[in-house]
Amino acid sequence: MIALIQTIVMALDIYWWIIIASAIFSWLYAFNVVNSRNQFVGSVGNMLYRLTEPALRPIRRFMPDLGGIDISPIILLLILFFIRQFLVTTVWSWVVTGG
């Protein structure tokens, strides 16, 4: 059971960095820092979009319109942090003590 918890925590940590990379990429793309016509840039952007959009879409549905500011990645990072801490503190100690 501990191996399963560690694997889930590792997956959450990887997804954490994917969300950060997606947010940074969207800023670079919006401010024309990266060449939007480059095929590699397009494929990286598409990959990041496909990895993060299923988790960000439900959050964006409930968020009020803040103009051009999208804080849904920050909210998703907070949710992931809560899940990770819950697994590490509560579930881990419940598994180690045996109930």
**How is residue 46 written in tokens?**
């598409």
Residue 78 lies in a domain: yes
Report the alpha-carbon distance of residue 98 to residue 31 in Å, rounded: 53
Paired tokens of 24? 């940074």
Residue pLDDT, tens place only, 6-18 = 999 999 999 999 9
Domain span at 63? 1-89
Residues 14 and 97: their CA atoms lie apart, in Å, by: 28
CA 2/CA 85 separation, integer angstroms: 15
Does residue 97 belong to any structural domain of this protein?
no
Is residue 96 one of the residues assigned to a domain?
no
For the chain, what is the domain count? 1
Per-residue model confidence as pLDDT tens digits over 46-63:
999 999 999 999 999 999
Tell me whether residue 94 is in a domain.
no
Is residue 74, in this structure, part of any structural domain at all? yes
**Which range is least confidently modeled, 8-12, 72-76, 93-97?**
93-97
Q: Is 35 a domain residue?
A: yes
Place of tokens 């947010």: 23
Mean pLDDT of 26-53: 94
